[in-house]
Structure 1
Amino acid sequence: MKKKKYRVSDYKSVDECLDQMARDGYRPVRRMEKPVFEERGKERVPVQQDIVFEAVEKE
C-alpha cells in the first residue's frame, strides 16, 4: 500500500487539497494538525494551523 502526504498550505483550501488527492487516485486516512507560532516580544502566539493529510492509494 503506497502512502503520500498532502499539505493544505500547498493548495488554497482543504477542499482543493482533497480534490487533488482524489484526482491523483488517493484517499485520506489521517488528518494531522499542529499550530504554527510566531514570537512577539517574549510571547509565542499561534498564528495559523499547519494541516497535513496522510493518504493511501484507492483500491
Structure 2
Amino acid sequence: MAKKRKERFEVQESETIEDCLDRMKAEGYQPIRRMEKPIFKEEPMNSTKEYVPIRQQIIFEGILIESER
C-alpha cells in the first residue's frame, strides 16, 4: 500500500516531542508544520460553566521524504 504524501502525527501524552519526531522519521516523514491546540475542561462555577485549560495538544504535519516515494 502506498503511503500518503502528507500525514499528521499527534504527540501522545506518554511521549516527548522528540519521541514523536523520531516516530515520524521512522515512518519516512519529515516535519513541515507544528500546530498547537489548547484542551479545555468544563468546570461548573456557581450558576455558570467555566472552561479551564488543562494541556496543549501538539500535532506535527509531515511530508513524505523524497527517497520514500
Global fold match (TM > 0.5)? yes
The structure that is helix-richer by fraction is: 1
Runs of 4+ aligned residues of structure 1 deviating over 6 Å after TM superposition are none
Residues 4-57 of structure 1, C-alpha deviation per residue, up to 9 Å, x if partnerless?
A: 110102651111000011111100000010100001112100000011100001
Corresponding residue of 1:49: 56
Gap runs ≥5 in structure 1: none
User: 1:25 and 2:32 equivalent?
Assistant: no
User: 1:39 and 2:23 equivalent?
Assistant: no
Normalising to structure 2: TM-score of the pair? 0.78
Corresponding residue of 1:58: 65
Identity of aligned residues (%): 44
Greater radius of gyration (CA): 2
Count of equivalent residues: 59
Alpha-carbon RMSD: 1.5
Residue identity in the other structure for 1:47 = I
